[in-house]
Amino acid sequence: MIQNELIHPKSIAVIGASENLQKPGGKILYNLKNGNFDGELYVVNPSRENISGIPAHNSPEELPPVDMAILAIPARFCPPVVETLLKKGTKAFIIISAGFSEEHEEGKALEDRITKMVNEYGATLIGPNCIGVLTPFHQSIFTSPIPKLDPKGCELISGSGATAVFIIETGMKKGLTFSSVFSVGNSAQTGVEDILEYLDNSFDPETSSPVKLLYIESIQNPDKLLKHASSLIRKGCRIAAIKAGGSEAGSRAATSHTGALASSDLAVDALLKKAGIVRCYGRDELTTVAGVFMCKELKGKNMAIITHAGGPAVMLTDALSDGGINIPAISGEKADALKAKLFPGSSVSNPVDFLATGTAEQLGVIIDACERDFDQVDAMAVIFGSPGLFPVRDVYKVLDEKIRLCKKPIYPILPSVVNVADDITYFTSLGHVNFPDEVELGNALVKIFNTHYPAEEKIDLDQVNIPAARRIIDDAENGYLSPDQVEKLMDCASIPRVKEITGKTETEILNAAKTIGFPCVVKVVGPVHKTDVRGVVLDIHSEDHLLAEFRRMMKIKDVTGVLVQPMITGHELFIGAKYEPTFGHVILCGLGGIFIEVLKDVSSGLAPLTLKEAVSMIRSLKSYALIKGTRGHEGVDEMLFAQIIVRLSSLLRFATEIVELDINPLIGQGNRIFAVDARIRINRESLGVNKNIKVS
Give residue 632's pLDDT: 67
Higher pLDDT, 252 or 661: 661
Give residue 318's pLDDT: 97
User: Given pLDDT bands bounded at 50, 70 and 90, which one contains residue 452?
Assistant: very high
Give residue 263's pLDDT: 53
Neighbours of 347 (CB within 10 A): 16
pLDDT in tens, 520-529: 999 999 887 7
Give residue 259's pLDDT: 42
Distance CA 336, CA 359 (A): 19
Taking residues 116-139, what's their average pLDDT? 97
The percent helix, strand, coil of the chain (3-state, each to 5) is: 40, 25, 40
Residue 554 has pLDDT above 60, yes or no: yes
Taking residues 283-311, what's their average pLDDT? 96
Distance CA 277, CA 279 (A): 6
User: Given pLDDT bands bounded at 50, 70 and 90, which one contains residue 594?
Assistant: low
pLDDT in tens, 328-384: 999 999 999 999 999 999 999 999 999 988 999 999 999 999 999 999 999 999 999
**Closest Cα partner for 161 from 88, 231, 94?**
94
Model-level pTM?
A: 0.89
CA geometry: angle 575, 581, 587, nearest 5 deg: 15
Distance CA 477, CA 239 (A): 43
Distance CA 589, CA 573 (A): 8
Q: pLDDT above 90 covers what percent of the chain?
A: 83
CA geometry: angle 125, 130, 132, nearest 5 deg: 75
**Closest Cα partner for 181 from 129, 136, 242?**
136
Distance CA 439, CA 415 (A): 11
Residue 696 has pLDDT above 70, yes or no: no
The residues near 374 (Cβ < 8 Å, ≥ 6 apart) are 304, 330, 334, 335
Q: Which domains does the chain have, with CATH numbers?
A: 4-131 (3.40.50.720), 147-293 (3.40.50.261), 303-432 (3.40.50.261), 571-695 (3.30.470.20)
Quote the radius of gyration of the chain (alpha carbons, Å): 31
